[in-house]
Amino acid sequence: MRASRILKMLMMLQTHEKVTAAELADACETSIRTVYRDIEALSAIGVPVYSEQGVQGGYRLLQGYRTRLNGLSAKEAETLFLAGLSGPAQKMGIDTLLADAQLKLKAALPENIRPEIDRLQSRFLLDAPNWFSDDEKVTYLPDLMTAVLEQRCVVMQYQSWKGEINRQLQPLGIVLKGGQWYLLAQVEKDVRTYRVSRIESLTLLDETFERPKDFNLTAFWQDSLRRMEVVQFPIIAEVRLTSLGRKIMQHVCSSYAVNQAQIEPMDESGWHRARFPVGESVYGCAELLRFGAELEVIGPPELRAEMEKMVSSLATLYR
């Protein structure tokens, strides 16, 4: 366990300009006193690790020092190969680089691990896009990758639901969600989200920008998802459901609506009362119609009125 911990510390020192004792202790799940002893052990075996005192202090390696030891276990190596998604890599224009990197990594692994890599890749497939969805055309994704990494501004022509817009952006990150690619970019002081497949044209500029120091891609995206859920499902539908209706809910409603649903036990008539979020009236009713006669809308009044209107129109159409 100590050898594994010291190796992890060495990898952290090698991949960070400076690391504090507290950060090392937190990453290795040990005490700061143990970190001090492990740092002394690294120095004793010739690793040029230096300490800097003061508030901004910490540990750092001698500039340019690198160890060829990677310390990958068999399971860690297998995980790296499993994470190599050929489809998304091809979209980003880095499929050849990914294949070359995997080849070099495989060559560097011990011979007893290599057959396990082949076995793993032949038995697991991650198909990212949703069911029955066409493959998105993301022509400008490689250029966006360059813009994000090199912090270069872009000018794009974009087809939004309001119409066509032309805009200069500062690309901050790219997200793959449910088989769809999204660009997160700064426009003046706002960070906005764009669907990459809706970009009609894109020009990569020589002009660069400073990336906001406090911008965290993962945190921003997760916060965006939470805000989007509230906007997409603003109405709490009050309904009556049959037992079959409960099963239908698992298939026709979003996972957000299913997780937020409050369903009461079956009453004497064989129905359940339930509450769960749906979209605005017209869109919410369109979703609830998929339940057929296994669901009755009780409230809110405006949602029931819209449902009655829609059902009446359908009855007239099919009469």
Q: How far apart are CA 171 and CA 215, in angstroms?
A: 12
- Sequence-distant (≥ 6) Cβ neighbours of residue 28 within 8 angstroms: 5, 8, 9, 34, 35
| More confident: 75 or 113 | 113
Domain positions in the chain are 2-61, 74-122, 140-215, 233-318
Angle at 283 (CA atoms; ends 280, 284), nearest 5 degrees: 70
Q: Are 124 and 82 in contact (CB under 8 A)?
A: yes
Say which amino acid occupies 274.
A
pLDDT of 183-198, one tens digit each?
999 998 899 999 999 9
Looking at residue 25, its amino acid is A
Banded pLDDT at 199 (limits 50, 70, 90): very high
C-alpha radius of gyration, the chain, whole number: 27
Name the CA dihedral angle for 6, 10, 11, 12, rounded to a multiple of 10 degrees: 100
The tens digit of pLDDT for each residue in 111-126 reads 776 777 777 767 766 6
**In the CATH scheme, what is the code of domain 2-61?**
1.10.10.10
Q: Which CATH architecture has domain 233-318?
A: 2-Layer Sandwich (3.30)
- For CA atoms 115, 118, 123, 125, the dihedral sign is positive
Whether the per-residue pLDDT at 97 is higher than 70: the answer is no
Q: How many residues does the chain have?
A: 319
Percent helix, percent strand, percent coil in the chain, to nearest 5: 45, 25, 30
CA distance 238 to 3: 59
245 is written with which tokens? Answer: 């209706």
Mean pLDDT, residues 96-119 taken together: 69
If one compares 233 and 88, the residue with the highest pLDDT of the two is: 233
pLDDT computed for residue 56 by the predictor: 81
* pLDDT single digits (tens) 239-298: 999 999 999 999 989 888 999 999 999 999 999 999 999 988 888 899 999 999 999 999
Q: Which residue has the higher pLDDT, 56 or 251?
A: 251
Burial profile 93-117: b = 16 or more Cβ within 10 angstroms, e = fewer: eebeebeeebeebeeebeeebeeeb
Q: How far apart are CA 160 and CA 157, in angstroms?
A: 10
309: Cβ contacts below 8 Å, ≥ 6 apart: none
Terminal-residue alpha carbon distance, the chain: 75
Nearest to 295 by CA among 311, 314, 271, 278: 271
Beta strands in the chain (DSSP E): 49-52, 58-61, 152-160, 163-177, 180-187, 190-195, 199-208, 235-241, 262-263, 272-278, 295-299
Architecture of domain 140-215: Roll (2.30)
